[in-house]
Structures are given as C-alpha cells and as structure tokens.
Amino acid sequence: MKHVRTMTGCIVLMMILVISFTSCKEEPGRSSLRLTVHSNEDQNRSILPQDTPLEVSRYAVTGIGPQGSTFEMQSTSPTMEVEGLLMGNWEITAVGQNLHGVNLVSGSATCSLTSEPTNALIELDSLMGSGTMNVEFTWDTSKISNPSIDLWVTDSDGLKTKVNPTTSNYINGAVYYSATYPAGSYMLQGRLYSGATAVAGCVEVVRIVGGKTTEGAIALDLDKYPEIPSTLTLINKAGTPIECSISGITTSVAAFQEITASITVPESESNEGLGVLWFLDGEELSSSLDCTFTPSTGTHRLDLIAKGALLASSGSASISFKAIVAGTPGYPVLANTVTDNTDGLKISGNTKIAFLPDGKILLASSIHASLQICRIVRDSLEVIRTYTLSDGFNTSMVTDMLVDKNTSKVAIADNLNPGITLYQYNTSNASLTKLFSRDNVTFIYEGGETTFTSISSLMLDPISGILYNVVPGTNMLPYSNFFATQASEFNMYSYKYWFMDPDTISGITMSPFLNRAAWYSTEQNVIKIGKRTSDGQLFGYLREYASPETPYLTGISAAEFISDTSLVTGGDTALNRFEYSQLLPDTNEDGWEQVETWLSGADGIGEMQGIVQLFTDASRSLLYVLCEGSKNIKVFSIQQGSDTLMYQQTIALEGFTPSEAVISPDKLNMLIVSDTNNQLLIFSIPQ
C-alpha cells in the first residue's frame, strides 16, 4: 500500500508543476523591425531582355518567426518598418521585383528581435530563375566565302564553354544561338572565319532574367563605320561607378604598327579593383588597363568588357576602327607573303594572275594545272573556287589571262594545244562559265591552213573587239572576236602580218585613249609605234626605233603608254621615254623622240636590271618598274602635263624573283607573282 501511495504522489506533483508553469506562462513580448533592403544589381548591359526593365522597383518581403508566426509585405521603398512582431529569431526573405512584378533578385537574413527596436539589412545577392538566350549573328555574304563561326559563353564565375550554333544559315549569312541559362550576366564571344582566316568577331554581355527570353542581333560588319566611345562607366570592386575614358586609339590607325589602347581613370579615383578584358575581333588580347596589338589592314572591332563586384554587373564598349597602311600614297608596303599550298592556294611555278571586275583574283598555276578564284581577306588570300582539267577547263600551260571589266569576260591563253578559251565571269557567285574555245588555226586557204605553235600574251582592242595574241618567234598577230556570241564567231581566221619584216613580236601595248599601239622585239632590240587608221586598223603608220641607232633598247622586254603621247620602254638595264612630235626636227613628218633615259646604277636610282613589266597607277601619276634581275620595284612619279619621269623610291623584294604584278580595282593592293618562287606577295598601297 505504501508503494502505491508514493506513485500517486508523484503524479499529482507533476500535474501541479505543469499547471503551475502553465498558469505562470506569459504572452511573449512584441517588438518592431526596421528593415533595409540593398540591391547589388547594376544596369550597364549590352544585350538585355526586351520589355523587361531590370531596375528593382518594389520589394516583396516575408518572414517566419517564433511559434510559426509570419508576415508578408510589399514596398516600393528599400527601407520599411514592421511592427508587432514576436520577440525571438526571425528568418526574413526579400525579393526585388521590377515594375511588372518580375522577380529579379533575392536575399535573406536571420535576426533576433528583443524589446528594443531592431535594424536588419538584407543583401539581394541571388539572381532568380532561369531564362533563355537567343542571339543572331549576321554578315555580308558578298564579303565572306566558306564561312564558319566559333562561339563561346563565359559565366560570372569565369567558366568558358565553347558552344555550337543552334541553327545555321550560312548561305544567307546568319547563325542563331539559343540556350537556357540561370539568371545572371554572361559573356558571349564570337569569331567569324572566311575559310581559315578570322575576318570579324565580337564580345557582348548578355543578361539573363528568370522566365524571360533575351534576344539580340549582332552584325559582324567588315565595313562598319569607325566609332570610338568618348567615355565608359566601369564598376569597381566596391560597387562604385567610375567614369573612365579610352585613349591611344582613333577611328583610323596605322596598319602593321603596334598601338596601345588604354583605360584612363580620373585622378580623383583609384583604378584598383577594376577588372578589364580586351578583345580584338573576338579574340582575347589583354586583362589589364592597357592593350597592345598590331592590326592588319581593314575594319576591326575592339571590345572592352569590365567586370565589377556587383551582382551581374559589367560595363562594356565596342570600338570600331579602321587600320590603313601608313606611308607615301601610291608606294606599296609589303603586307604578307603567301606560300604555295597555304589554305589550298596553288601558286607554284609560272603563276599567272589577274584581277576580276569585282576585286576577286584569278590565279593560274602551270605546275598544279589549276585555275582558282580567290579574294583578299585580312592581307591574305582565300580560295573561293578551284577549276582543273577534270572540270573541262583549260588549266594546263596557261600563258596569259585577260579580263575585260566592262563585259566581265575572261580570255585565257594556253600552250597545251595551243589555243584561247573565252569565259563569262559571274559576280553573283564568283564563278566562270566556259563560252567558246579556239584552236591554233590562223587562216584557211585552198589546200591548207596557217597555224601557230605557241602563245605568249593577249591584248584586247575594245573598239574593234579584236583579241590579239602574240606568237613568239613570228611577226604574226592572230585575231579572235572577243565579243562573239556563238562559237563559230570566236576564231576570225585572220591575222595581222608584216610582210617582208624580219622582226619578231615579243609584246604589244595600247595607249589609254585606244588610238595608238606599239609592239617590240626583244631579239631584235626594236620598238615599233603606230596609230589607228581611218578604217579602224590599230597598227597603222608604224615608226621604227632600234639599237644601235636608238640607244638603250638592248633586251627590250616591256612597254607602256603613260599617256597618248608618251611611251616608256624597259630592257636589260635601261628605262626610256619616247615622246610624240607632230614634226620631228630636220624632217617633214611626225614621229617619236627618245627624250629620257634612266640607267641602272646611275642618277641615284640603284640597281634596275631585267625589267619585265611597266605599269601605272589608276591616275597615271606613278610609274612602277618591275625588275626581275635586281628583284625590286622602282617607283617613278609622272609629271602631269609634261610626262617627265622623276625617280622616287626602290622597293626591295628580298630575294623574290618577280614575273608579273597587278593592282586591284579599288587601288588598295598590289599582288606580285613569280615564275620561280612558290610564293605570292601581297602589298598594301597607302592612299
């Protein structure tokens, strides 16, 4: 019985104690909370979601406290006060929203409320949700062939990932990239290639917002108008915006020369904590406040990306500039040496070259038996199309190529048969269409025919439409109808021939106004100059000048009219200028006088040996003398009005043996090929 009473007593005691505690329990005290919300969002972006403001306009705050108590409130002010909260520990969450109620950023904090009012600070440091990046890259297809593009995405932690275009439309010059990413700022980097050559690029900062699509269009423009932003706002690690300036670069800079672009911080500010990345045409160059590089010719894009400490913060600027060749206008500057088999180029052995009307290049290699259409890209050559014998093209043993810019027709001579083939060039797709071919039959007569055994060069008379071809070792100039509309019209079965004239023709040339022509003989050291007759014949009224009566014509191998009344010849070691006179001294007839002679090693011009070509610039203010023997180019100025020559400069070719040079239609480039070097030289011409 005693044991039982003891147990009963314990139970009663516990009940009393519980009742006592319950009776003595007080309602917890209440307090107030002053809450400040601080957003780390910065708004300096490059590509943003459309119709989605990124400014935090209001705040949604929730809290969970003692005994499961909660509160919710919204405010447009970052500072708010909540009263009547139970004292104790509270978990508080704040969401920053834009004016449309889209959640942008969130943060949370834990605080303990006491009898005294409590202040709490919540950092909004977490971006919310995931969104879609949808960016289109476009370019001008007329300037890019065989395009490809490399893309990379770098997140806020610096993790760089190479990605592939989601949709590719290379034919129309566009690719698209679309992907879903967590909210934040991303660096999108792109490099556009034409063949194997990088021709353009960009870097953009893309802002992703939860539940939204960020769309952008980036034009990779090779001809964008140069533009330099005057200032750039960068964010330092403390989150302070600093107005900076860009120095060291202008809208036009010197190509092939080192330049340094810099970010300049005001004297009142510190540059500590500024994180900067520089990109040239989409390729990263530097991560310091200075960026040093050497640009090739053409338009470039220099991107500057600044990453600050603020959440998803960045400043960015795109600097467009044009790099041009520095130097004296018209004097070529070597830009690049291209070697055989580089990126598919065939430039080995007896290479022939011509510019097409749209500025593309026609390249023929005898060793490779190939015909290629190329373009100049970033001071190099890119192959657009290659033709061989298997394509039905006459690509073997090519001796000369002639391009008519008015009709876009191309005549190609070869010594395989020998013969001439006429093509039509299509500028829309950079292709050749074979029109007609002719063989070596010059004339058909009863019982036989006249033929030629080889061709060395071509010349077109645009007035008559006659295409002349030089037959080495003869004084025969066979005719072809360049403007033929059917195959039967192409071979005219006729030729120009000087009966009883023992001199053989090595080359021919025509005056700028098409009313005079000349032919020369290297073997006989003679030049013969004529004019168009009343019936349209081009080689009428020939005047003959030969060594030794006319000195310094030894080995004559080039001739060029620099005007209708001045003809320049070049030979082994001499350059001569002949001038037309309506009445020669001590005669009663018109003719040509030898008025100037420049000799190799004399008058300060240096070595000038083995002249193989004479040609002028478009304005005929400069004469270029291409020398195979001395491996250089001599530049002479042409005095307007008198046509007097004045030596200006020698451009050494450094061991390269030249055979032919051409100037681009836009006057910006000179290309030189060789019969022996398996290389091609690309020069830029300062304007």
Reported as a single tens digit per residue, the pLDDT across 370-395 is 999 999 988 999 999 999 999 999 89
Q: In the prediction, which pLDDT does 445 show?
A: 92
What's the CA gap between 337 and 243, in Å, rounded?
44
**pLDDT at position 170 over 70:** yes
Domain-located, residue 24: no
| Same-domain pairing of 103 and 194 | no
CATH number at 217 reads 2.60.40.10
Domain assignment of residue 142, given as a range: 130-324
**Listed residues 324, 344, 363: the one ending a domain:** 324
Domain-located, residue 231: yes
| Same-domain pairing of 599 and 535 | yes
**pLDDT at position 26 over 50:** no
The encoded tokens of residue 267 equal 């004297």
Domain-located, residue 445: yes
The number of beta carbons lying within 10 Å of the beta carbon of residue 388 is 15
Domain-located, residue 554: yes
| Same-domain pairing of 484 and 598 | yes
What's the CA gap between 206 and 235, in Å, rounded?
17
Q: Phi and psi (nearest 5°) for 501?
A: -105, 115
Integer angstrom CA distances of residue 673 from 332, 340, 506, 653? 15, 11, 20, 11
Q: In the prediction, which pLDDT does 8 show?
A: 30
Q: What is the mean pLDDT of the chain?
A: 86
What's the CA gap between 559 and 639, in Å, rounded?
19
Q: How confident is the model at residue 545 (pLDDT cuts 50, 70, 90)?
A: very high
| Same-domain pairing of 277 and 361 | no
**pLDDT at position 19 over 80:** no
| Same-domain pairing of 229 and 122 | no
CB 675 within 8 A of CB 350: yes
| Same-domain pairing of 368 and 278 | no
Domain-located, residue 303: yes
**pLDDT at position 2 over 50:** no
CA angle (157, 159, 165) in 5-degree steps: 130
Q: In the prediction, which pLDDT does 363 show?
A: 97
| Same-domain pairing of 184 and 249 | yes
Among 87-91, 194-198, 395-399, the minimum mean pLDDT is found in 194-198
- pLDDT tens for 438-487 read 999 999 998 899 999 999 999 999 999 999 999 999 999 999 999 999 99
Domain-located, residue 25: no
Task: Give long-range contacts, CB 8 A cutoff, 24+ apart: 489-495.
Answer: 490/422, 490/435, 490/436, 490/437, 490/438, 491/438, 491/439, 491/441, 492/466, 493/441, 493/442, 493/443, 493/444, 494/442, 494/443, 495/442, 495/443, 495/450
**pLDDT at position 315 over 80:** no
| Same-domain pairing of 379 and 408 | yes
Mean pLDDT, residues 64-78:
88
Mean pLDDT, residues 531-553:
92
Q: In the prediction, which pLDDT does 7 show?
A: 32
| Same-domain pairing of 519 and 640 | yes
**pLDDT at position 47 over 70:** no
Q: In the prediction, which pLDDT does 559 show?
A: 98
Round to the nearest angstrom and report the end-to-end CA distance of the chain: 124
3-state secondary structure of 472: coil
> 265 or 277, which is more confident?
277
CATH number at 521 reads 2.130.10.10
Share of residues in the chain with pLDDT > 90 (%): 55
**pLDDT at position 524 over 90:** yes
Q: Which residue has the tokens 């960045």?
A: 314
**Listed residues 127, 161, 194: the one ending a domain:** 127
Mean pLDDT, residues 198-216:
85
| Same-domain pairing of 291 and 145 | yes
| Same-domain pairing of 36 and 82 | yes
Instruction: State how far Cα 418 lies from the chain centre.
Output: 40
**pLDDT at position 497 over 70:** yes
**Listed residues 297, 324, 351: the one ending a domain:** 324
**pLDDT at position 566 over 90:** yes
Nearest in space to 355 (alpha carbons), one of 632, 620, 673: 673
Domain-located, residue 20: no
Q: Count the domains in the chain.
A: 3
Q: In the prediction, which pLDDT does 84 show?
A: 83
Q: How confident is the model at residue 198 (pLDDT cuts 50, 70, 90)?
A: confident
Domain-located, residue 474: yes
Mean pLDDT, residues 273-284:
84
- pLDDT tens for 327-385 read 999 999 999 999 999 989 999 878 999 999 999 999 999 899 999 999 998 899 999 99
Share of residues in the chain with pLDDT > 70 (%): 86
Mean pLDDT, residues 24-53:
58
| Same-domain pairing of 165 and 282 | yes
**pLDDT at position 627 over 80:** yes
Q: In the prediction, which pLDDT does 39 show?
A: 57
Is the sign of the CA dihedral 296, 297, 300, 302 positive or negative?
A: positive
